Chains A and B, each alone.
Chain A
Amino acid sequence: MRELRIHGRGGQGSVTAAELIAVAAFESGVYSQAFPAFGVERRGAPVQAFVRFSDGRVRLRSQIYEPDYVIVQDSSLIRNGGVFDGMKEGGIAIINTEKPPSDIEAPAGVKVITIDATSLALEVLGVPITNTTLMGAFAAATGEIRMDALEKALRERFRADLADKNVTAARRAFEMVGGAA
């Protein structure tokens, strides 16, 4: 079983990201489970959401403390947000920042991938909502979900015009991170 923890702030769509990654993973042929860490939701507050990937039914219900992967939607969370807490050796961190990976202070053994998802989202979607962009980056970086499965999940969730834009954002990120279609 592999585990993903998504760190973001209220309003950035972290819960939606977890759900859509789980849907895309299921479409890609694995059992998946997605759930939020519910707080008293308010815009801007730190939030977490979780996804598990497994070859069989996922029975475990606790939150994720030792992730294989993290997605960080807001780099201001790196300082005090505990985004790398418990990360497994060989884990992959996908971080929304304009900085290069070498500028990110991550624990040894964690592979850091950075992408300026905010600029890409502003360019493609016109709003700084980075969740779909980071899903594309996640697909490319980890191979847990196929890009076509992600596209299907996005098209099921969003109405046509919004879906087109979000698929474009996800695809651009997928290609930037070096995913092979």
Chain B
Amino acid sequence: MLKITEGSYAVAEAVKLCRPQVIAAYPITPQTHIVEALAEMVANCEIDGEYITVESEFSALSACLGASAAGSRAYSATTSQGLALMFEVCFNMAGLRLPMVMTIANRALGAPLSIWNDHQDTISLRDSGWFQLYAEDNQEATDLHFIAYKVSEDHNVLLPGMVCFDGFILSHTYEPVDMPVQEEVDGYLPPFTPYHRLDAGDPISMGMYATPEYYMEFRYQIQQAMEQAGKTLVAAGKEFSEHFGRDYGSLVEGYRLDGADTALIAMGSVCGTIKDAVDEMRDAGRKVGLLKLRAFRPFPEREIVAALNNVNTVAVLDKNISLGNSGAAGTEVKAALAGSGITVLDYVIGLGGRDVRKRDIARVVDLAEKGEGDMFYGLRTEVL
């Protein structure tokens, strides 16, 4: 049923429908309303699970690691510095092949202190072994949780996943969301069946030493699982569309790419603004389209190559900067399209909550068509 709600509450509702068994969170800044709402749902017995209030994000994710190892469906949410504090545990969960889903309300990392949106927090964990999905709106943020649990717990995958949605721009926005009911979600997402779990009656060890003779093979298998996650995401996305009528059967989404000479590439909520800007530019006769990256890990290289077959120029918008190189998506899209003859230019944009308007999108297209790029877009002139 379509109802209007805040993004954070929509995500909390979606998580509830996934029947989490253990939720652990650090309930103070930088936190969102998500875990506040979930705490209330557990207290009201709307969720049949444990809610563990911990003393830091490191502990939050550690509690989820233990819960998942014991065979429970685990959940947490965080953002920004909180995710940074989880860094070590993120790598451990992926290495231990423990499923869970965590929501990240994307925000900038300090210093300087910023509470506002960009993608630096999750991009900085792109190498951790978690798959990463980015939502354009609160409907997609809601739906991706059901898909993420299904993929994470698939025995051919067994990797944790992040559902990323833009802090404030989505997390604090009220808009209509079509929220499924419990029976519909139960029909799509089965209960968690652990591949193996900690059980005192049937003891196993997890997290053993891997000497140089074995460590690389573990890493190879995690890489293989990530590649499998891409295929499972597509299958789970298609199955989702059969159940709910909204299509997530691709790791990317093309918008008005037919006949486009210039393609924009972006992730997250800015894709909505870009779609409106593309419509205006198309009305003015400009051949422009958008390729939205829904998944950043695994990186949808094949899909990008296939979707951009006929364009001349690609402008990648990155709400992050790999300091010392360039935006993360820009770097990877350039590698994907190397040798294709397509000009790929990168634009670092919207860091620390800098607003991105339709006119900014049009200006980026102007720059790209002149061959000017690989830059921070829209800087104050006093630093130039």
| A26 pairs with B4, CB closer than 8 A | yes
Determine whether the beta carbon of B175 is less than 8 Å from that of A58: yes
The answer on a CB contact under 8 Å between A26 and B169 is no
Which of A22, A59, A61, A62 has most B Cβ within 10 Å? A61
Asked if B301 CB lies within 8 Å of chain A CBs, one says no
Known A-B contacts A23-B4, A26-B4, A32-B4; the reply to A59 vs B173 at CB < 8 A is no
- Cβ contact of A32, chosen from B175, B273, B357, cutoff 8 A: B175
A19 to B5, CA, bound (A): 9
Asked whether B172 lies within 8 Å of A35 as measured between CB atoms, the reply is yes
Given A38-B115, A38-B116, are A33 and B273 also a contact pair (CB < 8 Å)? no
Q: Say if the beta carbon of B59 comes within 8 Å of chain A.
A: no
Q: Is the interface of B mostly helix, strand, loop or mixed?
A: mixed
Cβ-based interface call for A60 (8 A): yes
Instruction: Confirm or deny: B190 has a beta carbon within 8 angstroms of a beta carbon on chain A.
Output: no
Question: How many chain B residues touch A (Cβ–Cβ < 8 Å)?
Answer: 24
Chain B residues within an 8 Å CB radius of A26? 4, 176
Across the interface, name the chain A residue whose C-beta is closest to B268. A61
Could you tell me if A60 and B272 are in contact, using CB atoms closer than 8 angstroms? yes
Q: Per-position contact with B for A11-45: 1 when CB-CB < 8 Å, else 0?
A: 00000001100110010000111111010100000
Decide yes or no whether B186 CB sits under 8 A from chain A.
no
Is B175 in contact with A60, judged by CB distance below 8 angstroms?
no
B121 at the interface (CB under 8 A from A): no
Q: Is the CB of B172 within 8 A of A62?
A: no
- Beyond contacts A18-B174, A33-B173, A34-B175: 18 other A-B pairs, Cβ-Cβ < 8 A, are A19-B6, A23-B174, A32-B176, A34-B174, A35-B168, A35-B169, A38-B172, A38-B353, A40-B115, A57-B137, A58-B272, A60-B273, A61-B169, A61-B269, A61-B270, A61-B272, A62-B356, A62-B358
Q: What residues of chain B have their CB less than 8 Å away from a CB belonging to chain A?
A: 4, 6, 115-116, 137, 166, 168-169, 172-176, 269-270, 272-273, 275-276, 353, 355-358
